[in-house]
């Protein structure tokens, strides 16, 4: 999948935060799109994982920069969606220990994308958003 297609899909599947532009979101999505482009994911796998990320975390800044994995941050942002009480990491919201023995905190987009792809190939149903993600992907085929 090309980074351009990735950006196009994520821009269409997510919305701007207050005060944010499409360009702001494109810069936030770019590392993840390049990681997906560099992976060995098929187009369907790539679209599926991106749809899961869009539904699970919306690729929000506080998810991508791991702010929501910090207890102190979560106490002052209790209204924020994502990170499963600090236990889920990255836009794909993978759980350390439960899903993988690899440390996800601080892992690069390339590492998280590779792990997500491996998990997706083995068991897409790990993500509760998988049924909705399939519908998003079907709309772009």
The mean per-residue pLDDT over the stretch 15-33 comes to 91
- The answer to whether the CB of 105 falls within 8 A of the CB of 96 is yes
Q: How much is the pTM?
A: 0.90
> Is 131's pLDDT higher than 80?
yes
Share of the chain above pLDDT 70, in %: 97
Residue whose entry in the numeric block shows the structure tokens 């297609």: 5
Please give the C-alpha separations between residue 47 and each of 85, 86, 88, in angstroms, as whole numbers. 27, 26, 21
Share of the chain above pLDDT 90, in %: 62
> Is 141's pLDDT higher than 70?
no
């Amino acid at each position: 999948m090309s980074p351009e297609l990735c950006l196009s899909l994520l821009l269409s599947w997510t919305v701007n935060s207050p005060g944010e532009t499409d360009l702001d979101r494109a810069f936030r999505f770019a590392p993840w799109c390049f990681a997906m482009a560099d992976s060995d994911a098929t187009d369907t796998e790539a679209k599926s994982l991106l749809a899961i990320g869009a539904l699970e975390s919306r690729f929000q800044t506080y998810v991508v920069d791991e702010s929501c994995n910090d207890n102190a941050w979560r106490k002052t942002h209790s209204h924020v969606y994502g990170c499963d009480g600090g236990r889920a990491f990255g836009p794909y919201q993978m759980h350390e220990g439960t899903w993988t023995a690899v440390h996800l905190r601080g892992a690069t987009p390339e590492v998280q994308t590779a792990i997500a792809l491996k998990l997706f190939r083995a068991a897409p149903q790990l993500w509760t958003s998988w049924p909705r993600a399939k519908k998003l992907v079907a709309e772009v085929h």
